[in-house]
Chains A and B, each alone.
Chain A
Amino acid sequence: MIARIWTLAMNTAREAVRNKLLYSLLFFAILMILSGVAMGALSYTESERILQDIGIASIRLFSVAIAIFVGVGLIHKEVERRTVQTILSKPLSRAEFLLGKYLGLVLIIWLQMMIMVLFFAGLSELTGAPLGLSHLAAFALTAIELAVVVAIATLFSAFTTPMLASFFSCGLWMAGHLTRELRDHGAGSDQLIAREVTAWMHRILPDLESFNLSIEASHQLPVAASDVWLPALYGAGYVAILLVAATGIFERRDFR
């Protein structure tokens, strides 16, 4: 089973590196990180922090954009081009197929993120901006967030068109960054229904802010081990739930 999933993952990675969108977004991400140097130069005292803020934000935003826009076509393209028919006639389950495709894309997204991080680290070194363990923790959690975002895109890709899947994935990603704030606002409300609704939204929707250590990284604040492994565990659980849901939908599909 592992060999089959790995074969599919490697092939998916191979296909993803041929996607021109990935290179375009990577190019703009590098440009944005570079622009941090120019923006930082405008400030006498905070130039390093501006460089870091812009760099970390660019890495997160562009990685998410790549994850969504490459991820939404992941399953749809296979069904549309009917490559899924020969693959599923082989001794592998639909769940293995989905998992192989998912893992392949996550590997590529992590690889492109690593390229951005290396560029950012090089630039920080050149400009004398500090780099520390908090950066490592922030990027590790960004990688987990990307795994969640790819799982969201895979879920939508399993039953709808890339266009709709992009809308849904972007919407869920934005909602995922707001649920914590919404819950906190709701908790202060006098209305029971507002408190309950916002609390349930926070429970059901992904709490993507839990993967955000940007402030800790750019301000060199200390990060506790539990600030990393608890969100990592939460992310892994959320990915598992999303992939099980995607498999459930994919299992029922007819490939006409």
Chain B
Amino acid sequence: MSAAAEIVRVDEVVKDFRPGFGLRRKRVLHGISFQVREREIFGFIGPNGAGKTTTLKVLMGLIRATSGNASILGHGVNETAFRRQIGFLPENPYFYDYLTGKEILQFYAKLSGVSRQRRAFRVEELLELVGLSSVANARLRTYSKGMLQRIGIAQALVHDPNVVFLDEPMSGLDPVGRKEVRDLILRLRAEGKTVFMNTHILSDVEMLCDRVAIIVAGRIRYQGAIDEFLDAGQPEADLVLANVPPEIAVAMEERFAAGLRGHGERIELRIAEKDTSAVLRVAMEAGAEVVSVTPHRVSLESIFLSAVEQGTAEEKSS
């Protein structure tokens, strides 16, 4: 398989749900399309109710698409045999709580076809990896939410899959746990695995993902490499100036369409990066003092929020 091989392909997938027994249908996915490439960490982001989990469940064969095609590793998502090569962590996973941590992993290993010889070693290895070795023989009903999340991650990896799908993997974890899961995801990529991650924690996406897709109200609003996203917006700069006469500050705000905060002794301006020299010239001529100039990178958050606003507005107008 080439470096840019498509691991996941979603083409024009539509999903309608029928709320209740009536004939009326509610469309939750409006013909979404995206691809996930080999050995990348793909972030699928969107606000609550956008269709992230529905999309993931379509990929896992848990929800049947109304129309469109979805495939993983070239196999239709409703096939079963290829699932030996994929792992899945659902959102807020629930397991048989009468089993111990070790027993539940053995159960999933058996279902995934892990050989008897490898099973015991693999279960021990994973318990160690997710930091649950000390409670391996305790029943799951005694586990905390974070511990269940770790067991969920372990069961997704128990058969050493090539593609891992994680639905809100940081949910329920404390800061240390989140750091560990981030490291684990990076380690999976280093091992040559492909990771598909549903999340709305944008800082995690910025830190981990190679490419992202933003879904809002069942429609994909943006998709592409994370660097393209962050470079796509108009570059801006933050200026902090002191001793600027108020009339000059107002004039700069109007002339450069700047965002102005503060007045008098110290002001802050957010301007287009290309206007930096001109603004500085005006400020110096007015006798102002330059405290700092900081290039401002457009955050994923601002792109995300603008996508949500745009999506919500379109949804209302339609």
Asked whether, in the complex, the Cβ of B107 is within 8 Å of the Cβ of A91, the reply is no
From A85, A87, A252, contact of B111 by CB (8 A): A87
Give every chain B residue within 8 A of A11 (Cβ-Cβ).
96, 107
Would you give the 0/1 interface string for A68-85, flagging 1 where the beta carbon is closer than 8 Å to chain B? 000000000000011111
* Complex: A254 Cα to B165 Cα, angstroms: 19
CA distance A122 to B119 in the complex (A): 44
- Against B, the Cβ 8 Å flags (1 = close, 0 = not) of A235-256 are 0000000000000000010111
Given A90-B83, A91-B113, A256-B57, verify A82-B90 contact (CB < 8 Å).
Answer: yes
B164: min CB distance to chain A, Å: 11
**Chain B neighbourhood of A93, CB < 8 A:** 80
Q: Shortest distance in angstroms between B148's beta carbon and chain A's nearest beta carbon?
A: 11
How far is the CB of B155 from the nearest CB of chain A, in Å? 6
Q: Which residues of B contact A82 (CB under 8 A)?
A: 90, 93-94
> Are A15 and B90 also in contact (CB < 8 A) when A8-B111, A256-B57 are?
no
* B81 interface contact, C-beta 8 A: yes
Contact present for A15 and B96 (CB under 8 Å): yes
Residues of A contacting B129 with CB < 8 Å?
none
Q: Is the beta-carbon distance between A14 and B98 smaller than 8 angstroms?
A: yes
Q: Tell me whether A89 is interfacial, beta carbon within 8 Å.
A: yes
Residues of A within 8 A of B62 (CB): 84-85, 88-89, 254-255
Taken together as a complex, chains A and B put the C-alpha atoms of A89 and B108 apart, in Å, by: 10
Closest to B167 in A: A85
> Do B17 and A4 have beta carbons less than 8 Å apart?
no
Residues of A within 8 A of B88 (CB): 85-86, 89
Q: How many residues of B contact A (CB 8 A)?
A: 32
User: What is the minimal beta-carbon distance from B140 to any residue of chain A, in angstroms?
Assistant: 11
Q: Which of B63, B86, B110 has the most CB of A within 10 A?
A: B110
Asked if B64 is an interface residue, CB under 8 A from chain A, the answer is yes
From known contacts A8-B111, A254-B17, infer whether A91 and B81 are also in contact, taking CB-CB under 8 Å: yes
Contacts of B17 in A (CB 8 A): 254, 256
List chain B residues, Cβ under 8 A from A90. Answer: 83, 108, 111-112, 159
The yes or no answer to A3 lying at the interface (CB within 8 A) is: yes
By a CB distance below 8 angstroms, the chain B residues around A163 are none
Q: How far is the CA of A180 from the CA of B84 in the complex (A)?
A: 49
Rounded to whole angstroms, the CA-CA distance of A14 and B88 in the bound complex is 25
Give Cα A166 to B165, complex, Å.
Answer: 37
Give the residues in chain B near A92, CB-CB below 8 Å: 80, 83, 111
A81: which B residues are within 8 A, CB to CB?
Answer: 94
B61 at the interface (CB under 8 A from A): yes
Q: Tell me which residues across on chain B come within 8 A of A20, comparing CB atoms.
A: none
Q: List B40-99 residues whose CB lies under 8 Å from chain A.
A: 54, 57, 60-64, 80-84, 86-88, 90, 93-96, 98
Type the 1/0 row for B100-141, where 1 means its CB is closer than 8 Å to any CB of A.
Answer: 000000011011110000000000000000000000000000
Q: A91 and B80: CB pair below 8 A?
A: yes
Count of A residues near B, CB < 8 Å?
A: 25
Q: Please provide the chain A residues from 207 to 256 with a CB less than 8 Å away from any CB of chain B in the complex.
A: 252, 254-256
Chain A residues contacting B107 (CB-CB under 8 Å) are 7, 11
Closest to B165 in A: A89
Query: Is the CB–CB distance between B112 and A91 below 8 Å?
Result: yes
Among A18, A86, A88, the one with the most B-chain Cβ atoms within 10 Å of its Cβ is A86
A252 to B65, CA, bound (A): 11
Give the distance to chain A from B88, nearest Cβ to Cβ, in Å: 4
A252 touches B64 (CB 8 A): yes
Q: How far is the CB of B231 from chain A (nearest CB, A)?
A: 36
Shortest distance from the beta carbon of B203 to any chain A beta carbon, whole Å: 27
Shortest A74–chain B CB gap in Å is 14
Closest Cβ of chain A: how far from B21's Cβ, in Å?
12
CB of B110 within 8 A of CB of A3, answer yes
For the complex, give the distance between the alpha carbons of A90 and B84 in Å.
7
Q: Which residue of B lies closest to A89 (CB)?
A: B88
Complex contact B90–A86 (CB within 8 A): yes
Give complex CA distance A93, B112 in Å. 12
* Complex: A84 Cα to B96 Cα, angstroms: 10
Asked whether, in the complex, the Cβ of B80 is within 8 Å of the Cβ of A86, the reply is no
Minimal beta-carbon separation of B194 from chain A (angstroms)? 16
Selected from B64, B83, B94, the residue in CB contact (under 8 A) with A89 is B83
In the bound complex, CA of A3 to CA of B107 (Å): 11
Supplied contacts A11-B107, A18-B98, A256-B57, 8 more A-B pairs, CB within 8 Å: A4-B113, A8-B111, A85-B93, A86-B93, A88-B60, A90-B108, A255-B57, A256-B63
Can you list 17 A-B contacts with CB-CB less than 8 angstroms, sorted by A residue number?
A3-B113, A7-B107, A14-B98, A81-B94, A82-B90, A85-B60, A86-B88, A86-B93, A86-B108, A86-B152, A87-B111, A89-B88, A89-B90, A90-B159, A91-B113, A92-B111, A255-B57
Chain B positions within 8 Å of A, measured between CB atoms, are 17, 54, 57, 60-64, 80-84, 86-88, 90, 93-96, 98, 107-108, 110-113, 152, 155, 159, 165
Closest 7 CB pairs of A and B: A89-B88, A91-B83, A255-B62, A90-B111, A7-B110, A254-B63, A85-B90
